[in-house]
Amino acid sequence: MAPLPTDKLRLCGTEPESIVDGPGFRFVVFTQGCPHHCPGCHNPQSHPFEGGYEVSVDELFQAVKENPHLAGVTFSGGEPFCQPAALAELGRRVKALGKTVMTYTGYTLEQLREMEDPQVKALMEVTDILVDGRYEERLRDLTLLFRGSENQRVIDMNKTRQTGKIELFDLEYL
């Protein structure tokens, strides 16, 4: 398989100022294409890989830079790890601005690690907060912060890298 481009993304859409997709005001990138097809998915229009539209990493980064009030950028979907190279590049630029990167995925952290894919690893390395696990409609809970079902974890990737074990993000003070 040819490497995925690092300069373009296929998107379902963006949300320039979200307060529900991570801590603080966030620019949300909704990727197009998802292999999971979770029943009850909040974004079923993002499932087909041939849908959406193409946008450059430069264009997205410019949009992020225009808003000094953003705490960071959230990658959602679709499945962000289906386009890891370009998202990792965008993530590196966002972090250079002193902002955080949050990534949603239907994969578990353990599954991502097992992929042993350098592009997947690059996206994980720029991710500060990872929400992992498929959406499970039977475990839906609207009171959960930043996730839709009880099985999903909100992982503090910086602490996880430091300790070598999965550390959950402290949501108590948000």
Domains of the chain: 8-163 (3.20.20.70)
CA–CA dist 76, 80 (Å, integer): 6
Q: Which tokens in the block code for residue 38?
A: 């979770």
| pTM over 0.85, yes/no | yes
Q: Which tokens in the block code for residue 132?
A: 């992992």
pLDDT in tens, 104-124: 999 999 999 999 999 999 999
Strand arrangement of the beta sheet that strand 53-56 belongs to: 53-56, 8-18, 26-31, 72-76, 100-104, 129-132, 153-156
Grade residue 94 by pLDDT with cuts at 50, 70 and 90. very high
Grade residue 171 by pLDDT with cuts at 50, 70 and 90. confident
